Chains A and B, each alone.
Chain A
Amino acid sequence: MTAPTTEQEPGAAGPSTDEPLIRVKNLVKHFPVTQGIVFKRKVGVVRAVDDISFEIYPGETLGLVGESGSGKSTTGRTMLRLHEPNSGAVEFRGKNIVGLPSSELRDMRRNMQMIFQDPHACLNPRMTVGSIIEEPLQVHSRLPKAQQGERIRELLEIVGLNRQFVNRYPHEFSGGQRQRIGIARALAVEPDFIVADEPISALDVSIQAQVVNLLQDLQRELQLTYLFIAHDLSMIRYICNRVAVMYKGKIVEYAETDELYNNPVHPYTQVLLSSVPIPDPDKERGRERKILKADFDYTERDSSMTEVSPGHFVASSRV
């Protein structure tokens, strides 16, 4: 294992510096559409993820944006093999995790964790906070049992909660605090890579910034690498080094964050960025918006990408 030894500021990480931590190659995930109750017939497929490729470098945050149903969550889940991909490869430090037997997969999962969207739904209401965080420790038991209690309290402290909370139940906490518990659980096994699937969209505005700042601090302290899935493009701009835009199962454009926001090329990216409201009345009023047109086809037929400027890739048909 080659954990990154130099401390990296988010933003300092770039495609040229390191080998990628994660390499996704031609990943495909189709869901069958079935009809009938007893004799299920396959009547079609949903191409949720349709031949996408990208890399994530150590210490960086890659943003994945797109409309609902564009396949961004499925991508994140398939990368952790919570869905079995139909084809393609997901390499973690050069090792393909697609096709790994479950015993080896379990070892890999220690390195890859997930934070979920809804902090109300992803914590078992009948378990105490302590046992919620303990569960991954038991599965991936690196620590002797005696030290686990201390580790749990330490994790609570890391995510900004009181050490005494171990015996409380999820319902005693607010949404922001619950999200912190979810983060503590993900951190329990000391992963290198975390998929954060809309981690703040269920939270109130005043709480979102708290959680995002926590994620950033943790990234710096623990050298974490994130895939940050979100539909809030303002937050994406703030937290991500690079951004990939998905539309109908394909990545249509990806680039460094500032480059993407300043020079969007794909028509869908342009509409997406122009739709984001700006909390400033003077700017908002003078804006020329690009509105999603019903009669325009934003869909890509194939997955070939062209590099329009260093590190900025756009679906070839739009270049």
Chain B
Amino acid sequence: MNEILEVRDLVVRFDTQDGVVHAVNDVSYTLKKGETLGIVGESGSGKSVHVLSMLQLVPMPPGRIESGEVLFEGQDLLKMSDEEIRHVRGSKIAMIFQDPMTSLNPVIKIGRQISEAVQLHLGFSKKQGRERAIELLDLVGISEPHQRIDNYPHEFSGGMRQRAMIAMALACDPTLLIADEPTTALDVTIQAQIVELMTDLQEKLGMSLIWITHDLGVVAGIADTIQVMYGGTIMERGPTHNVFKDTRNAYTLGLLNSLPRPDQGVERLVPIPGSPPNLLRPPEGDPFAPRNPYATDRCFSERPPLETVDGGHPQHLAATWYDLPAEVGR
């Protein structure tokens, strides 16, 4: 497998009235062809904003990319002109957002919204575009696509709208699909349908997938790699099984312990004490240190680097100055 995306030392800042928000701090990782990467984090963890800034979708100002490069198929996305990046977005890299209602234009028919991309990027005629849209609606499991193509978004249910969004994203056969909380606004039953659809499609089309979520459960079943983010940095990253079963970072562990399990009863949840860091005044050391019962003095003064864990999987990385006691591991 070769790498299609490489993020190197990405730093993103926002200049606001209250000061500089340190939204993304030194984020580096790679994504292989056909890989599914699950990025997990809470609001303010930088999980969405680092992806948006990669695609130059963050308004600048107030946003500012301080440093870093993002190599996609060997080219730096951050150095591209507006026109070049626009060609990459929508054709090679596609995105699906959380709320399908706000991402669809309410006064344009579904079919036209889907075919717009192929007409623009691939030079399809109107008729070819329409055929492609029908084909795509069928692919994402919408019944009677011939009729549905002439519907407006309000005639679709929430789950169908998200399917239409996926169809739109797939229109130009992207090599990378980025899904930002694609199922958060949906009922669990619909979420399960969408998750199944996405895994099927990925198998069929062989694209890479970045799935951004706050829900460890959703990505547990589908991701090859899990990347946990907090306070704008990567706390832990590795093969899904290892991150869940051989957890090395206290934040990842805290997240897992504060989740109730639907498949078994739990005596009492162990919440993470305190609240997330203020990124206007980011802590000098490990951003999780103030909430971490295992923190050492060094955690408060110096930021730990993301390094390969001792005695674990070679691809398993964690940013810690401490070792979690063996008995708290899962």
Q: How far in angstroms is the closest Cβ of chain A from B290? A: 13
Cβ–Cβ contact A204 & B196, under 8 A: no
Alpha-carbon distance A68/B266, docked complex (angstroms): 27
Cβ–Cβ contact A275 & B192, under 8 A: yes
Which listed residue (B221, B254, B255, B265) contacts A284, Cβ 8 A? Answer: B221
Chain B residues in the interface with A (C-beta under 8 A): 42-43, 143, 158, 187-193, 195-196, 214-218, 220-221, 240-241, 244-245, 254-256, 258-263, 265-266, 268-273, 275-276
CB nearest neighbor in A for B226: A281
Contacts of B245 in A (CB 8 A): 281-282
Contacts of B244 in A (CB 8 A): 279-281
Contacts of B266 in A (CB 8 A): 238
Q: How far in angstroms is the closest Cβ of chain B from A27? A: 23
* Residues A209 and B42 in contact in the complex (CB < 8 Å), given A277-B218, A292-B192: no
Contacts of A213 in B (CB 8 A): 268-269, 271
CB nearest neighbor in B for A210: B271
A interface, size bucket: 35 or more
15 A-B pairs within 8 Å (CB atoms) are namely A174-B276, A204-B214, A209-B272, A213-B268, A213-B269, A233-B262, A234-B262, A237-B261, A258-B265, A275-B189, A275-B191, A278-B263, A279-B217, A280-B220, A281-B244
* Residues A212 and B261 in contact in the complex (CB < 8 Å), given A272-B188, A275-B189, A292-B190: no
Which listed residue (A208, A276, A277) contacts B258, Cβ 8 A? Answer: A208
Alpha-carbon distance A67/B186, docked complex (angstroms): 9
Q: How far in angstroms is the closest Cβ of chain B from A201? A: 10
Within 8 Å of chain B (Cβ to Cβ): is A287? yes
Which listed residue (B193, B241, B255) contacts A206, Cβ 8 A? Answer: B255
Alpha-carbon distance A272/B192, docked complex (angstroms): 9
Q: How far in angstroms is the closest Cβ of chain A from B306? A: 21
Alpha-carbon distance A35/B305, docked complex (angstroms): 62
Contacts of A235 in B (CB 8 A): 260
Interface residues in A290-319 by Cβ distance below 8 A to B read 291-292, 294
Q: How far in angstroms is the closest Cβ of chain A from B200? A: 12
Q: How far in angstroms is the closest Cβ of chain B from A215? A: 11
Contacts of A291 in B (CB 8 A): 189, 192-193, 196
Within 8 Å of chain B (Cβ to Cβ): is A205? yes
* Residues A238 and B269 in contact in the complex (CB < 8 Å), given A281-B240, A284-B221: yes
Within 8 Å of chain B (Cβ to Cβ): is A218? no
Within 8 Å of chain B (Cβ to Cβ): is A95? no
Cβ–Cβ contact B276 & A204, under 8 A: yes
Alpha-carbon distance A233/B42, docked complex (angstroms): 20
Alpha-carbon distance A19/B24, docked complex (angstroms): 56
Alpha-carbon distance A248/B221, docked complex (angstroms): 30
CB nearest neighbor in B for A268: B189
CB nearest neighbor in B for A207: B275
Which listed residue (B188, B190, B214) contacts A276, Cβ 8 A? Answer: B188
Q: How far in angstroms is the closest Cβ of chain A from B261? A: 6
Cβ–Cβ contact A234 & B259, under 8 A: yes
Within 8 Å of chain B (Cβ to Cβ): is A231? yes
Alpha-carbon distance A289/B190, docked complex (angstroms): 12
CB nearest neighbor in B for A235: B260
Within 8 Å of chain B (Cβ to Cβ): is A119? no
Alpha-carbon distance A207/B143, docked complex (angstroms): 40
Alpha-carbon distance A280/B322, docked complex (angstroms): 24
Contacts of A275 in B (CB 8 A): 188-189, 191-192
Cβ–Cβ contact B193 & A292, under 8 A: yes
Q: How far in angstroms is the closest Cβ of chain A from B218? A: 5
Which listed residue (B192, B255, B259, B262) contacts A289, Cβ 8 A? Answer: B192
Cβ–Cβ contact A206 & B269, under 8 A: no
Q: How far in angstroms is the closest Cβ of chain A from B265? A: 7
Cβ–Cβ contact B271 & A279, under 8 A: no
Contacts of A204 in B (CB 8 A): 42-43, 214, 276
Alpha-carbon distance A261/B193, docked complex (angstroms): 20
Cβ–Cβ contact B258 & A283, under 8 A: no
Contacts of B214 in A (CB 8 A): 204-205
Alpha-carbon distance A258/B263, docked complex (angstroms): 10
Q: How far in angstroms is the closest Cβ of chain B from A302? A: 23
